Amino acid sequence: MSKKEALLKAAENKVRLGGYSNFSFRELASEVGIKSASVHYHFPTKADLGAELAHQYTDSFLAALGEPNELKANGKNPIDVYTQLFRRALVTDKKMCLCGLLGAESDSLPDKVRLEVKRFFNQNLTWLSAAHLTNGEPNPAQAAIQTVSLLEGAMMISKTLDDNSYFELATQ
């Protein structure tokens, strides 16, 4: 793993625990074994790092999902696959969804970071609409916003109350 990748990984962990202000160049640098000034070589500003982090997070999130109609063709319910990805983030990573956290504080984010968070939710809603469409839902757009809202909310509350059974109950 390159230093740049290690910096992004370290930043992701910090942000998913406490938001955009929960990481500093100094902390990231010391975690990957370089000096804080060197972080600026890879990311000119903190906003650049945050934006690239959210962008890559979105891409790998969507990539992990696959295509709704392909999932359906393989006998899987794409909504279950989607739910499972959230569950893994909560149970395995024991962390919030990166963009769920950044979205909550989006009013105070640098423009380029906020833009990437918007991209995450727009792409998720598009994916979920397609998924609900293949499931024969009468109103896919509505089902899409309801699905992602429920998952993000349940995740946040389960984290807060430190009890994953709330997530299970909400998604059951």
Partner DNA sequence: AAATAACTACCTACTGGTCGATAATTTTGC
Partner DNA sequence: GCAAAATTATCGACCAGTAGGTAGTTATTT
Could you list the residues that contact DNA (CB under 7 A)?
2-4, 23-27, 29, 33-38, 40-42, 44-47
CA dist 155 → 77, 101, 167 (Å): 21, 10, 6
Element housing 67 (H / E): none
DSSP 78-140: HHHHHHHHHHHHHHTS-S--HHHHHHHTGGGS-HHHHHHHHHHHHHHHHHHHHHHHHTT-S-H
Q: Is 91 in the site for a copy of itself (CB under 8 A)?
A: no
Q: Is 146 in the site for a copy of itself (CB under 8 A)?
A: yes
Q: Is 112 in the site for a copy of itself (CB under 8 A)?
A: no
Among 100, 87, 105, CA closest to 20: 105
* Least spacing, CB of residue 55 vs DNA, in Å: 17
Q: Is 151 in the site for a copy of itself (CB under 8 A)?
A: yes
Q: Is 46 in the site for a copy of itself (CB under 8 A)?
A: no
Q: Is 26 in the site for a copy of itself (CB under 8 A)?
A: no
Q: Encoding tokens for residue 87? A: 């569950």
Contact positions toward a copy of itself, by CB under 8 A? 17-19, 21-22, 95-96, 99-101, 103-109, 114, 117-118, 121-122, 141-142, 145-146, 148-154, 156-157, 159-162, 166, 169-170, 172
